[in-house]
């Protein structure tokens, strides 16, 4: 008998699977692509905000030819409307947070019939 006959046979590979390093790289590439998709509109809005009014309505130009803060100056001139909207938004947000906190305390401390259904209803 020869020495090669005594070695165990190599296992048959059923299919190719990526290793942990390759899977991590693929995950990061996919996460980066998704991040770019979500950041694209934000970049477009920010670049459009520093263009002159005529340039902002045209096709998107990534680097504006003229850089201006005129749009932000116009925004601050509309101060009363902005402050009213801000007051309503903050007031309603604080009201919802207060009511939600009280409801969460009630659901966490007290047991009552229909508690599960009440939690499911609050999720919607």
38-61 pLDDT, tens per residue?
Answer: 999 998 888 888 887 766 666 666
DSSP 4: G
Which of 43, 39, 73 is closest to 61 using CA atoms? 43
Domain ranges of the chain: 18-77, 79-124
Confidence band (pLDDT; 50, 70, 90) for 66?
Answer: confident
Give Cβ neighbours of residue 68 (< 8 Å, ≥ 6 apart).
Answer: 50, 51, 52
**What is the pTM (predicted TM-score) of this model?**
0.45
Give tens-digit pLDDT for 73-94: 877 777 778 888 999 999 999 9
């Amino acid at each position: 008998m020869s020495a090669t006959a005594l070695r165990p046979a190599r296992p048959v590979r059923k299919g190719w699977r990526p290793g942990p390093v390759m899977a991590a790289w693929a995950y990061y590439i996919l996460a980066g692509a998704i991040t770019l998709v979500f950041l694209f509109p934000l970049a477009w809005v920010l670049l459009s905000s520093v263009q002159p009014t005529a340039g902002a309505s045209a096709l998107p130009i990534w680097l504006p030819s003229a850089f201006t803060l005129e749009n932000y100056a116009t925004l601050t001139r509309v101060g009363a409307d902005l402050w009213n909207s801000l007051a309503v938004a903050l007031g309603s947000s604080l009201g919802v947070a207060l009511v939600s906190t009280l409801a969460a305390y009630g659901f966490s401390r007290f047991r009552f019939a229909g508690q599960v259904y009440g939690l499911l209803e609050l999720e919607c």
